[in-house]
Amino acid sequence: MSVNRYNVIGFNRGDIIKLIINTPGTYISKSGTRFKLKNGENVQEIPAKKVEQILITCPSSISTEAISLAVEENIDLVLLKMNGKPIGRFWHSKHGSISTIRKKQLLLSENELGITFVKEWISKKMENQIDFLKMLSMNRRDERRDLLKENVLKIDEEIKKLDTVTFNQNIDEIRNTIQGYEGYASRVYFEMISKSLPEKYQFNGRSRNPAKDYFNCMLNYGYGILYSQIERSCIIAGLDPYIGILHVDNYNRKAFTFDLIEKYRIYVDKTIFKMFSTKKIRDDFFEEIEGGFFLAKDGKQALISEYNLLMESTEKYRGKNMEVQNIIQSECHNIANRILNW
């Protein structure tokens, strides 16, 4: 990662750059085939060919020419809310859901394939939670070790219950049952995460809009960035991010993204837990507002840096090493193929 004197953050992977616009008042325009970044008297130009993604995280301005350049170069351009969730994005028109996938997606919430997908994703989420708690228990030599093991068994019981869910015509009943299992497992999981943190950072359950504590503040912003990545992967694979299965379709809500993100939340959980347990958190990362906290500029910078390092790390996937971000993309293509072949 590099941070230049204009406070524009660039994450480098070889010759590829992810730009995080993190300074209020930055103006992004086009200069030939380059993005021109201006803030006060400070000016910088970056070749569009080197840019993979632009995240705008604060009040800034961008010209229509710069937007067009990003679209033409297939650069993901995302506007983020204060909590990290994408408020909007621009993408090339070729990244659209083909009609066959879209038509079949509309039927997923009322057929067996849709329930199979949801069970797979929620089950994987719980398995990830178990694996993480087991890892934490291995590093404990006090009463928390036994407590972690006890709660691993509780989550495992919810996986077994989830496995018994079968398709029937009462979709709302299935939805409520699955969300009940998932919700209980998550409450157990986050209680154990809290108990495993330094006492200063322990928290009382999940909180949102606003977060009531530092950990949830980081978690909410991290999930917001992940939402954006899942949405992008869906669009590229031809999936419609708005047509959900488990999550009810509400106007302008990316329900399918909410469904699919469940199995990937662990990446954010691990990243943020590591930051808190290795003393990478500072009080000035957060700003207090009425009812809670939101992430300040330096906090966003620190979190996005760690998140990008994780996404560019490799894991074993189908017999070969792949970057995490490419695994997510590959799995979205697999989902699209399963829907098309159904």
Integer Cα distance of 116 and 177 in angstroms: 14
Contact 26, 42 (CB under 8 A): no
Distances (CA, A) of 104 to 94, 116, 291, 323: 20, 15, 43, 30
Alpha helices in 238-277 (DSSP H): 255-260, 265-277
Q: Is 72 annotated as a binding residue?
A: no
Stretch 61-66: mean pLDDT, rounded? 94
Q: Pairing between strand 86-90 and 8-13?
A: unpaired
Question: Where residue 92 falls among pLDDT bands split at 50, 70, 90?
Answer: low
Task: Report the pLDDT averaged over residues 117-144.
Answer: 92
Per-residue model confidence (pLDDT) at position 254: 61
Q: CA angle 218-177-331, nearest 5°?
A: 55
Give the per-residue pLDDT at 93.
60
Is 176 a residue whose pLDDT tops 80?
yes
Residues 51-67, mean pLDDT to the nearest whole number: 89
Segment 227-241 mean pLDDT:
90
Residue 95 scores a pLDDT above 70: no
Average pLDDT, the chain: 88
pLDDT for residue 89: 80
Helices (H) and strands (E) counted in the chain, each on its own, are 10, 14
What structural domains and CATH numbers belong to the chain? 2-80 (3.100.10.20), 99-340 (1.20.120.920)
Tens of pLDDT, residue by residue over 246-255, are 886 554 456 8
> Tell me, what's the pLDDT at 139?
79
Mean pLDDT of 89-100: 67
Question: Is 92 among the annotated ligand-binding positions?
Answer: no
Q: How far apart are CA 303 and CA 273, in angstroms?
A: 11
Query: Is the pLDDT reported for residue 225 higher than 80?
Result: yes
73 annotated as a binding-site residue: no
| Predicted local confidence at residue 220, as pLDDT | 95
Q: Please say if the pLDDT value at position 259 is more than 80.
A: yes
Mean pLDDT of 125-153: 92
Place of tokens 């994703």: 121
Residue 42 has pLDDT above 70, yes or no: yes
Higher pLDDT, 255 or 194: 194
C-alpha 58/C-alpha 268 separation (Å) is 21
pLDDT of residue 53: 83
* pLDDT tens per residue, range 45-58: 999 988 888 888 88
pLDDT of 216 above 50: yes
- Output the six-digit token pair for 260: 């699919």
3-class state of residue 210 by DSSP: coil
pLDDT at 3: 43
